Homo-oligomer: A and B are copies of this chain.
Amino acid sequence: MTQFKKGDRVLISCISSCGKCEYCRRGMYSHCTTGGWILGNTIDGTQAEYVRIPHADTSLYPIPDGTDEDALVMLSDILPTGFECGVLNGKVQPGASVAIVGAGPVGLAALLTAQFYSPAELIVIDLDENRLEAAKRFGATKTVKATGQEAKQQLLQLTENKGVDTAIEAVGIPATFELCQEIVAAGGIIANIGVHGVKADLHLEKLWSHNIAITTRLVDTVTTPMLLKTVRSGKIDPKKLITHRFKLDAILDAYDTFSKAADTQALKVIIEAA
């Protein structure tokens, strides 16, 4: 390692990038031939006092003095995920209309970062009242508490029956992916963030002629430097996503809190070193 020395304060990216392979050279770190999504996936994650980071030179980012480190924890994973997979892939534009299906942490991360591009409408769809309240606080222009046909009807009403320019799928089940197909306008984009376990129906019999695009992406964290600049300059406050804090030795409580998010209203939980 040549880029960092002992004592440096760093941001750890959830994606390890070698900087050398074909994919890293294309900015597709998620598919790094010797890296990618390793931490917390193929090896243990970073909930520890000391961790070894693969390809550290090209997978850590120096934290500038005076930056709020809690906010930066959101930059390891959730914020670039919402931004790259949802907002960038979804090509959110000034004046455009955006719907985010799912107000969990990653949906809210998309909500926060979509505002970089000043869309006119930012509609969040979910069934959880608390999360929709959070969405409103975080900048949603409207919220829809419904699913399926009812969600579709409400969304179309809010968009003069045109649907949205960008539909961001932030749940990961067939029903929400189908909803995205029903609410995307002709010429629009469905940007999938959700981690899906099963296949979904794609209604090509309707969509073949609608000039739409559907995108998928495992976060590359290629935008981490850009996001760091937006945090430092106050364009975004990712700390809004933090609802709870626990010491490392209370980590089981932390997991318990997160697993009961509907009750605890947990979004993101910070684990502090002892």
Contacts and interface: CB of A to CB of B under 8 A. Distances in A.
Interface string A236-256: 100000000000000000000
Contact of A235 (B19, B95, B202, B216): B95
A213 B215 contact: yes
A26 B226 CA distance: 11
Contacts of A273: none
A118 B95 CA distance: 14
A207 interface: yes
B118 A31 contact: no
Interface in A83-97: 89, 93-96
Interface string A209-236: 1111111111010100111111011011
Contacts of A161: none
Contact of A195 (B115, B141, B208, B216): B208
A203 interface: yes
A54 to B, nearest CB: 13
B200 A233 contact: no
B187 A94 contact: no
Interface in A1-50: 2-3, 19-20, 22-28, 30-31, 37
Interface in A152-210: 172, 177, 186-187, 192, 194-205, 207-210
Contacts of A115: 118
A96 B121 CA distance: 24
A42 B194 CA distance: 39
A66 to B, nearest CB: 15
15 contacts: A23-B186, A31-B211, A95-B225, A95-B228, A95-B233, A95-B235, A118-B230, A120-B230, A177-B204, A194-B204, A196-B208, A200-B201, A200-B204, A201-B201, A209-B218
* Nearest 5 Cβ contacts at the A-B interface: A95-B229, A120-B233, A196-B204, A19-B19, A209-B218
Interface of A: 2-3, 19-20, 22-28, 30-31, 37, 57-58, 89, 93-96, 115-118, 120-121, 141, 172, 177, 186-187, 192, 194-205, 207-218, 220, 222, 225-230, 232-233, 235-236
